[in-house]
Copies of this chain bind each other. A is one copy, B any other.
Amino acid sequence: MSITRSEGFAFPAVEMTTYKDEPGTWVAVSRRVLNADSDTTFEARYFELAPGGYTSFERHGHEHIVVVLRGKGKVRLGDEWNELGPSDTVRVSGHTPHQFTNPTQEPFGILCIVDRDRDRPVLLDNDGNPRASE
* A82 touches B (CB below 8 Å): yes
Copies in the complex: 2
* A104 touches B (CB below 8 Å): no
* A3 touches B (CB below 8 Å): yes
Say which residue of B6, B62, B113 sits within 8 Å of A44 (CB atoms). Answer: B113
A40 & B69 in contact (Cβ 8 Å cutoff): no
Give the complex CA separation of A88 and B41 in angstroms.
Answer: 21
Say which residue of B6, B77, B94 sits within 8 Å of A88 (CB atoms). Answer: B6
Residues of A1-37 whose CB lies within 8 A of B: 1-6, 9, 11, 34-35
**Scoring A residues 85 to 110 as 1 if CB is less than 8 Å from chain B, else 0, what string do you get?**
11111111110100000000000000
Q: A67-B69, A111-B67, A111-B111 are in contact. Are A91 and B1 (CB under 8 A)?
A: yes
Say which residue of B75, B86, B88, B92 sits within 8 Å of A4 (CB atoms). Answer: B88
Q: A35-B65, A69-B69 are in contact. Are A2 and B77 (CB under 8 A)?
A: yes
Query: A2-B90, A40-B42 known; 20 other A-B pairs, CB under 8 Å?
Result: A2-B91, A2-B92, A2-B96, A3-B82, A3-B89, A3-B90, A3-B91, A4-B91, A34-B65, A34-B67, A35-B89, A38-B65, A39-B94, A40-B63, A40-B65, A40-B113, A40-B114, A41-B41, A41-B116, A42-B42
